[in-house]
Structure 1
């Protein structure tokens, strides 16, 4: 078993560091996000990128199948912890296709039972546990009512009570409330989000809130920061377990490929960007060809330092604990790719599905992200 060297990332005095719980010293960290794709965690790739943090989410209904101890997300996050990585586990409660359950009803009791089954496995082992993955996206807007808040508040109190009873005052697992999406839109800033933040602020055991600024422009991210930071206690921090320029990428899928790329690789001039991506997914490109496709597209090349720029924005607040960026092209990103697809795979640090693997079987990095990702580890 490889035990990694853990390095500090916050500019704190030694006395301050010694006074803080382990996870609280994670200020300004950047890590690797895998979402639900626990099967993609590759420690060799993480080590090559100098990554120290791993984040996965767990869809809670899935724990019924074989029990949470056998779920790949739980097994993988615990394995990462044993290997010396810092870890974040987000708990997902999906209700975006059905009516949201009564917070005092039998469906809530089922979710509570699932939570009770997961908590003994991860409490005191993962560094951060997030109550709710993307609660507002994983529900219908008509269900954003006081009942919605009550549902998640009761789950959080259950986790708080379990930690107090079983993990002690120095428990390393810090608790966060799950993430906000699309806060740039007034429709997503509601009495429900206000109550969400009041609960975060007024609950001493909650360390802060998660944000997921998937945006068109980096400037839209500031709306998230301006919303959550003033609504937290001074001692609280935010985490950003997902963030990207995904909607900017999507805006360019149906546009023609760069003329220079079409000429160099002898493809029709009217070929669309999405068609090139699909071709790479069907038969992975040599690295030089995939790099050319992205680098010759100004809409991508001009934003190749997004990761460095967004981390500068996060860190400038003085309130960032950890941010985790999409690390590897997962299988769900490749399914039936077409002109209306959401091109999550362009975010990925590891381009394991669009670039041919190395001779030793290892995956290649996306040229745009890896250098900044590694540099940001040292800040």
Structure 2
């Protein structure tokens, strides 16, 4: 089993679409890591090994790719099951059937996908905490009983938008405290879909201050979605508009809509992005800040 530390390696995130994994595409760009999640409420719990997403994941493992797998429980329209309930027993039973297929095979298992998003508003409290703590304890108990499962490292997460003070709730504090006091956990998973670099740094510092010094953070989703939303009404570069016949008043969101409706070749996308300061400036700053912290 390869080490779980990527060392700057390139990877691809497939979210719930593990069936989309294509080994030749990954090798073409020298990507050695794969990340995705399994929806525990959508999988066929009686034939987990036959689930298309699971079969695709297992093929990738056999092909030698490093794997980060997150487990998602969707409670956006449900209450979390009470301790000792039959509903909780069902959840634990499905987990018990899944774990033999992945522990000792994937490099990293993340208990949770985006738990505070995938829960009803009135359940984002101790009910959420108790459920995920139960799931973590079940994973740890299974791993301790199987020596070959110990090669898989465990994280808990993922947390979102903790750059916003109102998101730092008692339930979040308990979530991070549980990670800190659970020695079997290697750290916290975060999804910093960034708005600003300062916001990203604030979120990171908040999380790291609440876990043990030897624990680490994992980022399984990282995008510029909030940054891009802020720039959708910006005017596209005149050079690009002139070359491709667009009005000089064309906005980014209009260009993207056109490209979705009638897909462009790669070279046209490359030319569009290369003339967008909000894209290039953001990436160059990200690279500079990352390099400075290495």
TM-score by length of 1: 0.72
Gaps of 5+ in 2: none
Alignment of 1:1-379 (within 5 A): 22-26=2-6, 29-64=9-44, 67-168=47-148, 171-305=150-284, 308-309=287-288, 311-312=290-291, 316=294
Name the CA shift for 1:246/1:103 in 2 (closer, same or farther; >3 Å). farther
Aligned mates of 2:168, 2:76 — CA distance in 1: 18
Q: Distance in 1 between matches of 2:88 and 2:249?
A: 52
Calculate the aligned-residue CA RMSD, in Å: 2.3
- Determine which structure has the larger helix proportion and give its number: 2
Q: Is the 8 A contact 1:88 1:130 kept in 2?
A: yes
Deviation of the 1:99 alpha carbon: 3.6
Runs of 4+ in 1 over 6 A off after TM superposition: none
Cα distance in structure 2, aligned partners of 1:305 and 1:214: 17
CA spacing shift, 1:196–1:154, aligned 2, 3 Å: same
| Secondary structure of residue in 1 paired with 2:31 | coil
- Contact between 1:131 and 1:177, CA under 8 Å: does it hold in 2? yes
The CA deviation at 1:167 is 3.4
Deviations 1:142-179 (A, max 9, x none): 322212111000000101111111235x7211111011
Paired with 2:83 and 2:272, the residues of 1 have a C-alpha distance of 49
Offset, 1:65: 7.1
Give the match's secondary structure for 1:34: strand
Higher relative contact order (CA 8 A, sep 6+): 1
TM-aligned CA distance change 1:307 to 1:66, over 3 Å: farther
Q: How many residues align?
A: 294
